[in-house]
Amino acid sequence: MRSSVPGAPDRRPATQGEQAAAPLLEVANAFEIPGRWRGSVPYGSGHIHDTFLVVFEQDGRPVRFVQQRLNTRVFHDPHAVMENVRRVTEHQRVALERAGVADTERRALRLVPARERGFEYVDTEGGFWRTFAFIEGASSQDVIRSPEDARVAAEAFGRFQAMLADLPAPRLAETIPHFHDARARFEALEAAAAHDALDRLDGCRAELDGFRRNEPLLDRLDRLHAEGLLPERIAHNDTKLNNVLTDDRTGEALCVIDLDTVMPGLVLHDFGDLVRTATSPTPEDERDLSRIDVQPAMLAALARGYLDGAGGFLTPAERDELVFSGILVTLVVGMRFLTDHLEGDGYFRAHRPGHNLDRARSQLRLAERILSRRDELEAIVGEASHGPTPPSLFRSP
């Protein structure tokens, strides 16, 4: 029998299976979810948090939610993360409603309140939990297979940025400080090379020299920001395809997810990461460097989709640096891979010996291919930039 109190946890005697899953039952019942808990199972392909698909029976039908235990080794201030997520998702819903969008429940994540306070729950072992409503009829994919995939993803992230362009003060917290600080990443690489704790330097001197060769590029966006040409905005900072939910029936982009790194920054970092992850036909750990190159059709699709989604809020300088952002972000991620290789693979999970070195080589190669074709690629992006740009639906009138 279900509880007669709406939203109250089910107090019937636990079955043997529920006793084995008691910690998950504890977490499930810590949030304001009406009905009877049916189970929690691991869900998704993420590597940072522990994620579970949770099913409750409500009025005789299953209703699904997503619960996550945050990785506090990566996100040292989970309360700040949650406050950012709360503000961002609430502002998205306001923007969608203002624009007259009908299905707001499917186009912005919705946090489920905790019973005791806010949207957070700390379990008996100190685990930090949150719950989202599950978006039905939508899914994500891990690999961009076509220019249309690239366009859809880029449009979703451009639209996401546009929705947050007028988020009121105060400034969002920096959940991972200096996340895209290219100079800091270079200095960390140099420090790891100087220390060479695992005697790996001799095997990667060519790669280190490659990043040193490109060191003059690292400060360009920061310099333009300091000159007032690139404004600080709100960026997602993890623009992988699998962070976009698309409608299972129509293929339309619905909702951007994984909001823990949403924080102040340059929107170019988001576009740059799209270039890094979408334009090469190879994975980021490709060993055959001759196969790595930038695909112009993919870049054109990214640019058109992103500009269509962002609308008119980008400045001319931001548009001018779209191709360069791909070079810079690819170099930064490559430096992070090489630093991790030198320090013992403690941050990025390595699935074979030298895996992070392979990743660093691949990223360096891709960055230099984009750089070598920069004029050609900027002409492609320029053509997309000079087409008709629709006004954003998500700006205040």
Q: What is the DSSP string of 231-245?
A: --EEE-S---GGGEE
Residues with Cβ within 8 Å of 232's Cβ and at least 6 positions away in sequence, in order, are: 225, 264, 265, 266
> In the structure, what pLDDT confidence band is assigned to residue 14 with cuts at 50, 70 and 90?
very low
CATH code of the domain occupying 147-385? 3.90.1200.10
Residues in the chain: 397
CATH code of the domain occupying 16-136? 3.30.200.20
The neighbour count for residue 69, using CB atoms within 10 Å, is: 19
123 and 26 Cβ atoms separated by less than 8 Å: yes
The neighbour count for residue 8, using CB atoms within 10 Å, is: 14
Residues paired with 121 in a beta bridge? 129
pLDDT at 387: 60
- Give the residue-averaged pLDDT of 167-173: 96
Domain ranges of the chain: 16-136, 147-385
Most confident option among 11-15, 137-141, 206-210? 206-210
pLDDT at 232: 96
* Mean pLDDT computed over every residue of the chain: 90
pLDDT at 375: 96
pLDDT at 225: 97
Strands of 2-149, DSSP E: 36-42, 50-58, 61-69, 121-122, 128-133, 138-139
> In the structure, what pLDDT confidence band is assigned to residue 42 with cuts at 50, 70 and 90?
very high
Which of 139-148, 196-205, 207-216, 322-331 is predicted with the least confidence, judged by mean pLDDT?
139-148
Please determine, for residue 4, whether its predicted confidence score (pLDDT) is greater than 80: no
Please determine, for residue 187, whether its predicted confidence score (pLDDT) is greater than 60: yes
Please determine, for residue 390, whether its predicted confidence score (pLDDT) is greater than 80: no
Higher pLDDT, 393 or 222: 222
pLDDT at 98: 92
- Give the residue-averaged pLDDT of 25-36: 95
- CA–chain centroid gap for 186, Å, is 22
First to last CA, the chain: 51
Residues with Cβ within 8 Å of 120's Cβ and at least 6 positions away in sequence, in order, are: 78, 79, 82, 114, 128, 129, 130
pLDDT at 22: 74
Token pair recorded at residue 270:
């988001």
Which of 66-75, 193-202, 209-218, 365-374 is predicted with the least confidence, judged by mean pLDDT?
66-75
Share of the chain above pLDDT 90, in %: 81
> In the structure, what pLDDT confidence band is assigned to residue 389 with cuts at 50, 70 and 90?
low
pLDDT at 144: 83
> In the structure, what pLDDT confidence band is assigned to residue 19 with cuts at 50, 70 and 90?
very low
Angle at 346 between CA 370 and CA 329, to 5 degrees: 20
Determine the 3-state secondary structure of 263 from DSSP: strand
Alpha helices, DSSP H, located in the chain: 16-20, 22-28, 78-98, 147-163, 182-195, 205-213, 220-226, 267-278, 296-310, 316-320, 322-343, 355-372, 374-385
- Give the residue-averaged pLDDT of 47-69: 94
Which of 214-218, 284-288, 304-308, 311-315 is predicted with the least confidence, judged by mean pLDDT?
311-315
pLDDT at 174: 96
pLDDT in tens, 307-359: 999 988 999 999 999 999 999 999 999 999 999 999 999 888 889 999 999 99
- Give the residue-averaged pLDDT of 80-98: 96
328 and 182 Cβ atoms separated by less than 8 Å: yes
In angstroms, the CA 219 to CA 114 distance is: 43
Which of 7-11, 128-132, 363-367 is predicted with the least confidence, judged by mean pLDDT?
7-11
